[in-house]
Amino acid sequence: MLNADDPRLNFGHEFMEQSNNKFMKPHLFVLRLLELEIQVYMPSYAKT
C-alpha cells in the first residue's frame, strides 16, 4: 500500500492544495489513488 509520503502522490496533493472546491477535493484524491492502483496492479490495462 502506498505511503502518504510517497513522492508519486505529491502532484495530487499540490493540485488539491490549490483547489478551493471542498466538494471536489476528496473525489480527486480518490480518483488519483485509484489511478495509481491501476498502474501498480494492472499495468497492461493502464497502457491501453
- pLDDT, tens digit, 9 for 90 and up, residues 1-33: 556 566 555 555 555 555 556 666 777 788 888
pLDDT at residue number 42:
73
Tell me whether residue 31 is in a domain: yes
Tell me whether residue 8 is in a domain: no
Amino acid letter for position 39: Q
Tell me whether residue 12 is in a domain: no
- Domain ranges, residue 42: 24-48
Tell me whether residue 3 is in a domain: no
C-alpha cell recorded at residue 31: 480518483
pLDDT in tens, 25-34: 777 788 888 8
pLDDT at residue number 26:
77
Contact 35, 11 (CB under 8 A): no
